A and B are shown apart, each in its own frame.
Chain A
Amino acid sequence: MAATPARFTFRARTVVVDVPHLGFATAIAAWCAWFCQDAWRAQRDVENLIMILPASLLAVILYCFVAAGCVHIVSDPEQGAVAPRQPLAPGMARKIAGTMALLATYVVAGPLIGFDIVSFAYILAMLWFLGERRILVLLLVPALFCAIAIYCFNTILATPLPLLFFAGDAS
């Protein structure tokens, strides 16, 4: 996610575009427009569209303002070189992407395989990924978390969680 905007030259003018931000705003506006179309397709009556239609139109109008703010035409090529936001610290992009990827894996694998083993593996992997190297901590923290969390949810709160090894009666 570059903090420096893309630059294009068009008829002796430099166009500076904050592409990541424009992409994000476009994604929001596209979802709003799609949602409106989906609601329209589902049922074309006042009861269904009383709020969705005006809100979606407003979203598209607001998007135009945001998109316009993402594009700057400058005559001086040096102008507009200022980053639109603070760049991430070195290594942060990798850490954040890794954290997101591990979270996504956990969210999908937890309910499918079982929260006991997957929680243990997730916390161990995250600890390792974030720089923990002490073996005792790497094993003890996930084990304690799993024991306490599973006991609390399954036994005290009687909330069945999908488990692989400790299913027992609760699940």
Chain B
Amino acid sequence: MIDLTALAAAVHLLCSSWQPWLVVVPGILLGLIVHAVPGLTTSMALAICLPLIPYMDFLQALIFMTAMYAGALFGVAIPAILLNVPGSAAAVGTTFDGFPMAQVGRHNEALGLALAASCTGQAIAYLLLLCFAEPIAAFAIRLGPPEMLVVALWGMTLIARLRGRHLARGLLAGVFGLLLGTVGLSVRGAARGTFGFDLLLDGIPIVPAIVGLFAAAELFNLVGRDYIVDDLTRRRVDAGRILAGMRDTFRYPGTLLRGALLGSGIGILPGGHAIANLLSYSEARRAAKDPEKFGKGDPRGIIAAESANASSEGGSMATLLALGIPTGGATAVMLVAFGMHNITGGPAFMRDHTDLVYAVILSSLAQVGILAVIGFGFIFVAGFVVKVPLRMLVPIVLALAVIGSFALAQNMAGPITLAVFAVIGWLMQRFDYPVAAVVVGLLLGRLTEGALLRTYQMSGGDIGYMLTRPIALVMLALFAISVALPFLRPARPQVAAGG
């Protein structure tokens, strides 16, 4: 599977000059810092750095961008854990258990867990990419709308699992989110649910909506308190406890590995990186013997979400390098960088520049180690957020979120969405609706509609068409097993007793 000659050439490329390595630390730091601001995204940060790309050679440019991507993938976890602010859709799953851990003074451990899970997830994904780059690409090209539809349906089961204490309220919240996700222009150009505002033709801005639902709603509840962590003795930022959190990650190898494999697999699909963390969280919760602990500060929740989020980078890089197809905003910007060097990604690139591809993968593996060190220092500084009085933190975070939302949307739609969803989020919390279910619906709404529509168009409405798609059938079988397992499990002891 590995072309050893190309691998040796890649090692030579990386070791013969120190120049490609110069950009790793700034790249990781930029990625980390950008995601400390709610509303800013990896693709935005990468796009901002595009003018620098012509001044770097191609390998250096790719290393710089993957370093930024790697930093950003972990960076989103920091505000998600400390403030319940998922900087992007990729960190939504991290908030479920991260913020409850922070609230009881276990922020050090939570950040350590996230860092170790993120680094391990990335390392596994890149190792997979190194060994199976070509088979992954061959597999990715056979995935189409029916397979995406199965993935989207799988993601939707999370709505039922996040239902909270009231099934009907949870499902209503999820369906509400699904419908919100389809606001805007339909595939045939019909404007739906826009109230006549042109700003909504592209749909509801997702990131401001998520920040509003999660963060602002939580911040409204915090205005009556003095600090995020009430107990003074638990407010410390402790390197030892961060390290303990990092060590704890490896106490759950199954969760870690499942998350990394799921993330790598889902990452190759368009938009997959946004739902990889949710799917992994859902599967970890399903597989757990004590699922009721999830959502209350369970380390496995953070590990599952973060390992999948980080490893989705490897999957999306496989599609980018081998097929020249971007699966999200960040890889789309990377493709622009390819164009700046007159290089076209795809099978020809893989064949003619295998050494370059291996060099990028090897440097990304090295970046994981560098990220572990820089990330540790970064979270040590970021951890001091719990020491800031909430009367200062709340207005600063809200103001940053509003400015970030404006910067992202470049119009009033961003801040207004944030404010509207903040109020909706607070009301949902107040009436015991699971906010996370709306977010899952919002993320999956357009994805599911698109996949459903394209599957319908391809099949002409004939359900038998699915039988001609073996990958979709296998995925459907796995999905069915995943849904049925929780119902089958309690029956086992009875069977045994009966036997």
Contact = CB atoms under 8 A, between A and B. Distances in A.
Contacts of A131: 391
B239 interface: no
Nearest to B175: A59
Given A43-B186, A43-B190, A52 B179 contact: yes
Contacts of A39: 186, 190, 192-193
Given A32-B179, A51-B449, A92-B224, A24 B427 contact: yes
B453 A56 contact: no
B391 A127 contact: yes
Interface in B404-441: 406-407, 411-412, 415-416, 418-419, 422-423, 426-427, 430-432
Interface string A28-72: 110110111011001101111011100110110011011001000
Interface stretch (B8-16, B286-294, B317-325, B394-402): B394-402
Interface in B215-238: 216, 219-221, 223-224
Given A32-B179, A50-B452, A106-B399, A132 B406 contact: no
Contact of A65 (B168, B223, B411, B457): B168
Interface string A101-112: 001101110110
Given A66-B172, A122-B395, A103 B422 contact: yes
A126 interface: yes
A38 B452 contact: no
Contact of A47 (B187, B392, B407, B430): B187
B453 A66 contact: no
Contacts of B40: 157
B172 A63 contact: yes
A130 B453 CA distance: 50
Nearest to B34: A157
A56 B179 CA distance: 8
Nearest to A126: B395
Contacts of B402: 103, 106-107, 110
Contacts of B479: none
B429 to A, nearest CB: 10
A157 B449 contact: no
Q: How large is the interface on B (under 10, 10 to 19, 20 to 34, 35 or more residues)?
A: 35 or more
B365 interface: no
B171 A42 contact: no
A153 interface: yes
Interface residues of B: mostly helix, strand, loop or mixed?
helix
A48 B426 contact: no
Contacts of B396: 123, 141, 145
B169 interface: yes
A99 interface: yes
Given A127-B391, A130-B391, A149 B403 contact: yes
B456 A115 contact: no
A34 B195 CA distance: 11
Given A32-B175, A56-B179, A59-B179, A21 B431 contact: yes
A96 B219 CA distance: 9
B255 interface: no
Contact of B223 (A52, A95, A141): A95
B395 A127 contact: yes
B214 to A, nearest CB: 15
A36 B412 CA distance: 26
B399 A122 contact: yes
Nearest to A51: B449
Nearest to B456: A50
26 contacts: A1-B430, A32-B176, A35-B183, A38-B192, A39-B190, A43-B188, A43-B190, A50-B456, A51-B453, A52-B182, A65-B168, A96-B221, A99-B223, A104-B419, A106-B415, A107-B418, A110-B403, A110-B415, A111-B412, A119-B399, A126-B398, A137-B392, A153-B407, A159-B407, A161-B403, A161-B406
Interface of A: 1, 20-21, 24-25, 28-29, 31-32, 34-36, 38-39, 42-43, 45-48, 50-52, 55-56, 58-59, 62-63, 65-66, 69, 85, 89, 91-92, 95-96, 99-100, 103-104, 106-108, 110-111, 115, 119, 122-123, 126-127, 130-132, 137, 141, 145, 149, 152-153, 157-159, 161
Given A100-B220, A131-B391, 17 more contacts: A25-B172, A39-B190, A43-B186, A43-B188, A46-B456, A47-B457, A52-B179, A66-B172, A69-B168, A96-B221, A100-B422, A103-B398, A103-B419, A107-B416, A126-B391, A157-B48, A158-B48
